[in-house]
């Protein structure tokens, strides 16, 4: 029988066609998990720890996984934003494309992360440019992105601006022109 260390080493790095469920198998957003801002061991940001499980496909759909997850993070430094979740075994798994029926549940957090990503890469962009980008990125969704999508994540936005120097540089523009909120 493999040890948990062996299992952690064999976990895939990316999961697609995924969704998250609570301990009652009800769909739930990963954004209810504590966010991990750094690699420090302490990542409790005051959020209640939910029992949340990741279900999805790995290895190009050849295998299905079911793992408890304990935290999430996002990376704005790449061409597209990357969101990852931390399994109970302490392995990060990058989230690919979610299950279609699950998109509505995580829509607002995805829009928020993409908005932060665009602002980081384009600090001089106008509010119209931001909404054009978000509309194009989420064009397959039933509803266009709006300011209402960001409201539930104001704490996340504020903390990201506080922690990310490149976002802090465009904070004055955000405050003066109010393109996001």
What pLDDT shows up at residue 40?
63
State the pLDDT confidence band at 178, using cuts at 50, 70 and 90.
very low
**Side-chain half-sphere exposure of 40, counting CA atoms within 13 A:** 8
Give Cα 172 to chain centroid, integer Å. Answer: 25
The β-bridge relationship of strands 92-95 and 14-22 is parallel
Give domain limits for the chain. 4-98, 102-177
Query: Tell me: the pLDDT tens digits for 88-147?
Result: 999 999 999 999 999 999 999 999 999 999 999 998 888 899 999 999 999 988 889 999
Structure tokens at 33: 């998990």
Q: What is the pTM of this model?
A: 0.84
Query: Tell me: the pLDDT tens digits for 47-80?
Result: 556 799 999 999 888 899 999 999 999 999 999 9
CA angle 26, 135, 155 (to 5 degrees): 55
User: How far is the C-alpha of 32 from the C-alpha of 16, rounded, in Å?
Assistant: 20
User: How far is the C-alpha of 38 from the C-alpha of 61, rounded, in Å?
Assistant: 30
What pLDDT shows up at residue 50?
73
What pLDDT shows up at residue 154?
94
Please, are residues 111 and 156 in contact by the beta-carbon 8 Å criterion?
no
**Stretch (H or E) spanning 63:** strand 63-75
Give Cα 12 to chain centroid, integer Å. Answer: 18
User: How far is the C-alpha of 51 from the C-alpha of 84, rounded, in Å?
Assistant: 17
pLDDT at 3 over 50: no
**Closest to 111 measured CA to CA, from 92, 128, 93, 136:** 136
**Stretch (H or E) spanning 118:** helix 103-121
Query: Tell me: the pLDDT tens digits for 7-53?
Result: 444 555 899 999 999 999 999 999 999 999 987 655 554 455 679 99
């Amino acid at each position: 029988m493999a040890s948990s260390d062996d299992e952690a080493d064999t976990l895939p790095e990316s999961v697609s066609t995924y969704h998250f469920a609570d301990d009652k198998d009800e769909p739930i957003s990963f954004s209810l998990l504590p966010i991990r801002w750094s690699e420090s061991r302490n990542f409790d940001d005051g959020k209640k720890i939910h029992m949340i499980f990741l279900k999805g496909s790995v290895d190009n759909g050849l295998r299905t996984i079911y793992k408890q997850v304990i935290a999430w993070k996002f990376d704005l430094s790449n061409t597209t934003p990357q969101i990852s979740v931390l399994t109970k075994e302490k392995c990060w798994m990058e989230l690919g494309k979610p299950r279609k029926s699950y998109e509505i549940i995580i829509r607002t957090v995805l829009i928020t992360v993409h908005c932060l990503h665009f602002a980081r890469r384009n600090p001089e962009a106008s509010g119209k440019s931001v909404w054009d980008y978000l509309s194009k990125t989420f064009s397959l969704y039933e509803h266009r992105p709006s300011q209402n999508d960001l409201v539930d994540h104001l704490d996340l936005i504020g903390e990201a601006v506080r922690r990310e120097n490149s976002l802090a540089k465009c904070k004055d523009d955000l405050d003066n022109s109010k393109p996001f909120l």
